[in-house]
Homo-oligomer: A and B are copies of this chain.
């Protein structure tokens, strides 16, 4: 069984929409019920530029979701539910994005207007938590009891899934290891404190630190100075000692051991642009993580890349939408 909306899927009983709203781009898709498998790189995934104006973005999302639903064979383009994922902090209950520095949005009650346009339930959740759900249910964590997901991108986030369900925690930030301060004398973090995991590992912070280290466009030996995280990792691999020191610090800071000690998960899934592309860096951090937790957990500490790659969050949003349907409707299939 596949959940992609291939031809001939018009006999299915319904469709859900999903959107992963990122800082610069937004992924949108529509999938047929039940969302129990994920075809990667499907042609039904549409990429939009994220609009700085949230209301224009809502209108574009409604248009695109309706168009995809019609193309997929939904009667009058009608979806059953839509799952949205966005950078937090946000309130999943009220559907309000409180303040997303990455999006430049503040106090946007995104679910309400989209619901009025589409006439279906809209569920909103934090992108890290949604990515965790996507990987646990449809990706690398499938069938595992306890899965921790860590996303290493411009920022560092995460989420925890137990027995296929999201563990939100008391303040909806369980698994958010990005702002665990591992060195109170460390570099300043975007959150205002010092030495957070994100201040060492996050792409934005690595780029900022590189610009501080090489204020001019060239390093001492005349090669172009690293300007973003990927260039820092490349310079470190090429033997630049200053870039190497930044990467060494990031290896030390990344807290796989803390996740292992507190949660003893079956699996840690690593996603995000840095997590997916800097495999050697992640392997080094796993080695350090194993050395720093209890022997029996450490030896068994298993860290794998996100199986859904750049679509973990989108898949999680589709799962969220699918789960919001009444059980009666889901079972009618």
Closest residue on chain B to residue A179 by CB atoms: B294
Do B259 and A176 touch across chains, with their CB atoms under 8 A apart?
A: no
Q: For chain A, which range describes its interface: under 10, 10 to 19, 20 to 34, or 35 or more residues?
A: 35 or more
Do A262 and B258 touch across chains, with their CB atoms under 8 A apart?
A: yes
Do A263 and B184 touch across chains, with their CB atoms under 8 A apart?
A: no
Q: Mark A266-305, 1 if CB is under 8 A from B, else 0.
A: 1000000000000000000000000111111100100000
- B-side contacts of A174, CB under 8 Å: 146, 262-264
Q: A23-31, A160-168, A207-215, A310-318: which lies at the B interface?
A: A160-168
Question: If A258-B255, A262-B258 touch, does A293 touch B171 (CB 8 Å cutoff)?
Answer: no
CB contact between A294 and one of B160, B167, B168, B176 (< 8 Å): that residue: B176
The answer for the CA separation of A193 and B175 in the assembled complex, in Å, is: 26
Do A146 and B175 touch across chains, with their CB atoms under 8 A apart?
A: no
The answer for the CA separation of A145 and B168 in the assembled complex, in Å, is: 11
A180 interfacial contact with B, CB 8 Å: yes
Do B171 and A291 touch across chains, with their CB atoms under 8 A apart?
A: no
- Interface set of A (CB-CB < 8 Å, partner B): 89, 145-146, 148, 160, 162, 167-182, 184, 191-193, 255, 257-266, 291-297, 300
Name 25 A/B residue pairs within 8 A (Cβ), A-sorted. Answer: A89-B296, A146-B167, A146-B169, A160-B262, A169-B265, A169-B297, A170-B264, A170-B300, A173-B294, A173-B297, A175-B262, A176-B294, A177-B262, A179-B294, A180-B257, A180-B260, A180-B294, A181-B257, A181-B291, A181-B293, A182-B292, A191-B294, A193-B291, A255-B258, A258-B262
